[in-house]
Amino acid sequence: MPTNVDNIIRKLPASRRNKIERRAAQLISEEMTRQQLRVALKRTQADVAKKLGINQDSVSRLEQRADVLISSLRAYIEALGGDLGLVARFPDQPPVELCGIAEGNVHSLTPKHRKLAKIFA
């Protein structure tokens, strides 16, 4: 008889099951569509539309678009109560958080950013 993963998990101690469930939730939350994120945060398209000053249909179209302006995505995330960050990843280099993109002002390089800039120079 084939082994069922649910049966295996049920036999684990409660602390181990909880740890597995927390990790699974973390992995699932790391990749979501805009719509899935909004639903997970218990927001409606009407809620988001009101905060953005647009209609619900526009929010629906924004959630369905494959190519979205960063400024539009930032506004959408902020309407959900979040903050958008962009990270660039390169092989054999630490991730770099990008700043000054689609913002009202461009930040000057902090000492941390100057150090990272030297890594890529």
pLDDT digits (tens, 9 = 90+) for 60-108: 999 999 999 999 999 999 999 999 989 999 999 999 988 887 664 334 4
CATH number at residue 73: 1.10.260.40
Q: Against a cut of 0.85, is the pTM above it?
A: no
Structural domains of the chain, count? 3
pLDDT digits (tens, 9 = 90+) for 17-63: 888 888 877 777 678 899 998 998 899 999 999 999 999 999 999 99
Indicate whether 44 and 76 sit together in one domain.
yes
Percent of the chain with pLDDT over 70: 79
Indicate whether 10 and 51 sit together in one domain.
no
pLDDT of residue 20: 84
Indicate whether 15 and 40 sit together in one domain.
no
Indicate whether 49 and 68 sit together in one domain.
yes
DSSP state of 67: S
Burial class (CB within 10 angstroms; exposed 0-12, middle 13-18, buried 19+) of 48:
buried
Domain extent, residue 26, equals 1-31
Indicate whether 26 and 49 sit together in one domain.
no
